[in-house]
Amino acid sequence: MKQRRIGIYLRVSTVEQDTTMQEVEMREYAEHRSWDITIYRDHGQSGATDDRPGLKALLSDVRRTSN
């Protein structure tokens, strides 16, 4: 069976916040299933806008690999 590849998107609204706990939990979940992981991350980015570098990178990678 082909190994599953996943993107994990992590975001916090302020630069004072940290994505560490999000990453630990998501990475543990994915590694338990032997999934190949790519991390995408935005610090200090509002969820109200799509103009987020990490999100744009994730969407770009999805478009590129789905063709």
Please give the mean pLDDT across all residues of the chain: 92
| 55 band by pLDDT with thresholds 50, 70 and 90 | very high
Do 40 and 6 contact (CB within 8 A), yes or no? no
Angle at 42 between CA 40 and CA 44, to 5 degrees: 170
Q: Residue 67: pLDDT above 80?
A: no
* Spatial distance between the Cα atoms of 64 and 44, rounded to a whole number of angstroms: 27
**Closest by Cα among 16, 23, 5, 14 to 47:** 14
Q: Name the residue range of residue 57's domain.
A: 5-65
Instruction: State residue 15's pLDDT score.
Output: 87
Which three-class secondary structure state does DSSP give residue 29? helix
Q: What is the pTM of this model?
A: 0.85
Tally of domains in the chain: 1
Write the pLDDT tens digit of every residue in 6-20.
Answer: 999 999 999 899 999
Which three-class secondary structure state does DSSP give residue 11? strand
Specify the CATH number for the domain of residue 12. Answer: 3.40.50.1390
